[in-house]
A = this chain, B = another copy of it.
Amino acid sequence: MFQALADPSRRFMVERLSRGPASVSELAKPLTMSLPAVVQHLQVLENSGLIRTEKVGRVRTCHIEWAAMQTAEQWMDERRKSWERRLDRLGEFLAEDGNQ
């Protein structure tokens, strides 16, 4: 998941998709790479669970899967919480008599 977001082109696609669904070629248009390259990126994003795609006729439409995005946010949130707990304990310690 972080792996999937590690690539700039893939983040660019996610940015585009966060403004609404898009087809493969729509996603490819602003990029300078070949279409197969775009599809490979989309596969990485799909395997990571960050997007979902659906083929109707001959066009494949992609949308963001927010559940996965939240997982990443959650991970960082937990790091922050455990950091804050630490600061709290430190504060309590410093507030105790004789620890100044």
A56, CB-defined interface residue at 8 Å: no
Q: Cβ of A69 and Cβ of B64 under 8 Å apart?
A: no
| Separation of A73 and B66 alpha carbons in the complex (Å) | 14
Is A6 an interface residue when CB atoms closer than 8 A count as contact? yes
When distances are taken between beta carbons in the complex, the residues of chain B under 8 Å from A80 are 18, 66, 69
76-98 of chain A: CB within 8 A of chain B? 76-77, 79-80, 82-83, 86
Given A2-B2, A2-B5, A5-B2, decide whether A18 and B82 contact each other with a Cβ distance below 8 A.
yes
User: Can you show 9 pairs from A to B with CB atoms below 8 A apart?
Assistant: A2-B5, A5-B6, A11-B75, A14-B79, A15-B79, A18-B80, A18-B83, A18-B86, A73-B73
